[in-house]
Structure 1
Amino acid sequence: MVIGATGQIGRVAVGALARDGWEVTALSTRGGRDESWPEEVRVARADRADDAALAEAIGDGCDVLVDMVAYGPEHARQLTGLADRVGSAVVISSVSVYEDDKGRNFDTQAEPGGFPEYPVPLGEEQRTVRPGESSYSTRKAGLERELIAAGDRLPTTLLRAGAIHGPHCRTPRELYFVKRNLDGRRRRVLAYGGASRFHPAGVRNIAELIRLAAARPGARVLNAVDPDTPTVAEIAAAIDAVMGVEAEDVLVDGPAPAPTVGDTPWSVPVPVICDMTAAERELGYRPVARYAETLPETIAWIERRLADGRDWREAYPKMFQAYGDLFDYAAEDAWFGA
C-alpha cells in the first residue's frame, strides 16, 4: 500500500515496486492513476487525514505500507495504530530534521549566523531538532521520534530526503534557471561564488531506496540523496546544456547582494552534503541515476507547466510561497546597472 501514490515520489515508487513483483495498491485523495504504472496496480481513494478511511483502505492488512505524506506525530500514531495489520513501513522524512552541534538548523538559517554547519559528509548519527509543532522540521522530527520508539511493533525505514527533484515537483528549484532561459535572461547572479552545494535527491533514487527497504524490513533511519552534489554553477550549466542555451554567470563572493538578486533555491553559505554509507550497508543500495541524467524530464515538465505564457506563480504557488519573487528582473537590472 502506497499512501500519496500520485505525488512526485509516489508515482515513481509505485512503478518500481510493481515491477519488482509486489501487488501494489496506490492510495491517493482522488484515486488517480499514472500512465506509467503497470496495469495490475490497484487504485484506491482515501484522505489520509481521515483515520477511518485509511483503516478501511488498508482492510485486512498489507505486508508493506509506504507513506509519502506523513508530516507529524499524529501521522506516526495513525500508522502505529495499524501495526497489527501492517508488516513493516517505509516513510519519507527530510534532512531538515538535522541540527548542528551549536543548535542551528534550517529553522534558524534566516538569523544572522544562523545557518547550520554540518559535518561533511552528514551522517544519520547527527543530532536532530527537538520535536514540536512550530515548523515542518520539528513536525518531521516528531514523526521520526514516535516511529522509532514503535520500531518493535512496526519496523519502519525512515528516509531523510535531500532537495527532491524530478517531474511533478510543486517547488522545483530548477525553475530558477529554466524560466530565466525561457525569458532570454543571459546573465545571472550567483551568490557564494556559485559554489554552494545542497545535496539533491532524485525521485528515481528515492524510489530505489523504497524498493530495497520494502524487501528488507527493519527499524532504521537512512539518508536519501543522489550520488553527486553539484554546485549551483554546475546545475546552471547542466540546465543550459539541456536547453541549448549559453548564459553568463556573474559570481558574487558571499551572500546575495540584494534580497531578490542572486539568491537561488540552492544558495547556502556552507555545504550540506549527506553520507549514503548506511544505505549501502543496510540495503545494498546503489544509485540508479545521477543529477544531470534526470534533468531533461524535469525541464520538460517545467516547460509544459509554463506553456502559453502561464504565470509561474499560478503554475507553482507553493514555490512563490516558499521563496518569494525569484524573478525580480528589475532589481537584477538595477544591480547590473550600478
Structure 2
Amino acid sequence: MVIGATGQIGRPAVAALARDGWQVTAASQSGGRAEEWPGEVRAVRLDRADGAALAEVVGEGCDVLVDIVAYDASHARQLTSLADRIGSAVVVSSVSVYEDARGCGFDTQDRPDGFPVYPVPLPETQRTVAPGERTYSTRKAALERELLAAGERLPATLLRAGAVHGPHSRVPRELYFVKRNLDRRGRRVLAYGGASRFHPASAHNLAELIRLAAARPGSRVLNACDAEAPTVAGIGAAIDAVMGAENETVLVDGPPPAPGVGDSPWAVPHSVVADMTAAERELGYRPVVGYAESLPETVAGIERRLAGRDWRAAYPKVAQAYGDLFDYAAEDAWPGA
C-alpha cells in the first residue's frame, strides 16, 4: 500500500513496485490514477488525517506500507496502531532533521550565521533536532522517533530525502532557471560564487530506494539522494543545455548582494551533501538516473505548466516558499549586473 500515491514521489514509486511484482494499492486524497501505472494497480481515495479511514483501507493487512506524506508523530502513531496488520513500513522523512555541532539546522538559517555547517558528506549518525510540533523539521524528527521506537513490532525504513525534483513537483527549484531562459534574460546573478550545493533527490531515485527497502525490511534511517550534488552554477548550465540557451553568469562572493538579486532556491552558504554509502551498503542502492539526465522531463513539465500563465498562479507554493524569484527590476538596477 502506498499513501500519497499521486504525488511526485508516489507516481514512480507505485510504478516501480508494480514492476517488481507487488500487488499495489495506491491511496491518495483524490483517489486518482497515473498514466504510468499498470492496470492491476488498485487506486483508492484516502484522507491521510483520518485514522479510521486508514485502518479501513489497510483492511486485513499488507506486507509493506509506504507512506510518502507522513508528517509528524500523530501519523507515526496511526501506523504503529496498525502494526499487527503491517509487515513493514517505508516512510519518507527529510535531511532537514539534521542539526550541526552548534545546534543550528534548517530552522535557524534565517538568523545571522545560523545556517548549519554540516560535515561533507553528511552521515545518518549526525545528530538531529529535538522532536516537537513547532516546525517541519521538528515534526519530521518526531515522526522518526516514534517509528524507530516501535522497533521489531513495526520495522520501518526512514528515507531522509534531499531536495526532491521531478516532473510533477509543485515546488520545482529548476523554475529559477527555466523561466529566466523562457524570458530570454541572457544574464543571471548567483550568490556564494555559484558554488552552493544542496543535494538533490530525483523522484525516480527515491522510488528505487522505496522499491529496495520494501524487499529488505528493517528498522533504520537512510539518506535518500542522487549520486551527485551539483553546484547551483552547474545546475544552471545543465538546464541551459537542455533548453539550448546561452547565458552570462555573474558570480558574487558571499550572500545575495541586494534584495531580489542572486538568491536562488539553492543559494546556501554551506554545502548540504548527504553520505549515500549506507543506502548502498544496506539496500544495494544504485541511482537509476543522474541529475542532468533527469532534466529534460522536468524542464518540459515546467514549460507546459507555465504556458499562458503567471508563474505565481502556476506555482503558488514556490512563491510562498521563496518570494519573488524574478525581480528583474532589482537585478537590472544592481550595479554589478
TM class by shorter chain equals over 0.9
Indicate yes or no: 2:305 matched with 1:291.
Answer: no
Q: Secondary structure at the match of 1:8?
A: coil
Indicate yes or no: 2:148 matched with 1:121.
Answer: no
Inter-partner Cα distance in structure 2 for 1:251 and 1:151: 48
For each residue in 1:242-261, what CA deviation from the matched residue of structure 2 results, as whole angstroms up to 9, or x when unmatched? Answer: 00000010000000001211
Inter-partner Cα distance in structure 2 for 1:97 and 1:69: 16
Aligned counterpart, 1:319: 318
Inter-partner Cα distance in structure 1 for 2:78 and 2:314: 32
Inter-partner Cα distance in structure 2 for 1:80 and 1:218: 15
Inter-partner Cα distance in structure 1 for 2:312 and 2:113: 30
Aligned counterpart, 1:42: 42
Aligned counterpart, 1:272: 272
Inter-partner Cα distance in structure 2 for 1:133 and 1:83: 23
Instruction: List aligned pairs for 1:228-243, cutoff 5 A.
Output: 228-243=228-243
Counterpart residue identity of residue 35, structure 1: E
Contiguous gaps of at least 5 residues in structure 1: none
Aligned counterpart, 2:24: 24
Counterpart residue identity of residue 236, structure 1: G
Aligned counterpart, 2:3: 3
Assess, with a 3 A threshold, how the Cα gap between structure 1 residues 337 and 275 changes in structure 2: closer, same or farther: closer
Aligned counterpart, 1:329: 328
Instruction: List aligned pairs for 1:34-183, cutoff 5 A.
Output: 34-183=34-183
Q: Secondary structure at the match of 2:259?
A: coil
For each residue in 1:285-325, what CA deviation from the matched residue of structure 2 results, as whole angstroms up to 9, or x when unmatched? Answer: 111111000000000000011012x0111111111111001
For each residue in 1:39-80, what CA deviation from the matched residue of structure 2 results, as whole angstroms up to 9, or x when unmatched? Answer: 111111110101111111111110000000000000000110
Instruction: List aligned pairs for 1:245-284, cutoff 5 A.
Output: 245-284=245-284
Inter-partner Cα distance in structure 2 for 1:23 and 1:45: 17
User: Alpha-carbon deviation of 1:133?
Assistant: 1.2
Q: How many residues align?
A: 337
Indicate yes or no: 2:190 matched with 1:196.
Answer: no
Inter-partner Cα distance in structure 2 for 1:136 and 1:232: 24
Q: Secondary structure at the match of 1:89?
A: strand
User: Alpha-carbon deviation of 1:337?
Assistant: 7.1
Indicate yes or no: 2:230 matched with 1:211.
Answer: no
* Runs of 4+ residues deviating >6 angstroms: none
Inter-partner Cα distance in structure 1 for 2:44 and 2:184: 44
Inter-partner Cα distance in structure 1 for 2:49 and 2:187: 45
User: Alpha-carbon deviation of 1:134?
Assistant: 1.2
Q: Secondary structure at the match of 2:53?
A: helix
Inter-partner Cα distance in structure 2 for 1:290 and 1:20: 21
Q: Secondary structure at the match of 2:331?
A: helix
Counterpart residue identity of residue 25, structure 1: T
Inter-partner Cα distance in structure 1 for 2:180 and 2:79: 43
Inter-partner Cα distance in structure 2 for 1:218 and 1:335: 53
Counterpart residue identity of residue 302, structure 2: I
For each residue in 1:250-275, what CA deviation from the matched residue of structure 2 results, as whole angstroms up to 9, or x when unmatched? Answer: 00000000121101000111111110
Counterpart residue identity of residue 220, structure 1: R
Inter-partner Cα distance in structure 2 for 1:159 and 1:8: 15
Inter-partner Cα distance in structure 1 for 2:244 and 2:217: 44
Aligned counterpart, 1:186: 186
Inter-partner Cα distance in structure 2 for 1:147 and 1:91: 9
Q: Secondary structure at the match of 1:297?
A: helix
Q: Secondary structure at the match of 2:334?
A: helix
Q: Secondary structure at the match of 1:272?
A: coil
User: Alpha-carbon deviation of 1:336?
Assistant: 4.1
Inter-partner Cα distance in structure 1 for 2:153 and 2:335: 60
TM score, norm. by length of structure 2: 0.99
User: Alpha-carbon deviation of 1:151?
Assistant: 1.7
Inter-partner Cα distance in structure 2 for 1:172 and 1:275: 23
- RMSD between aligned alpha carbons? 0.8
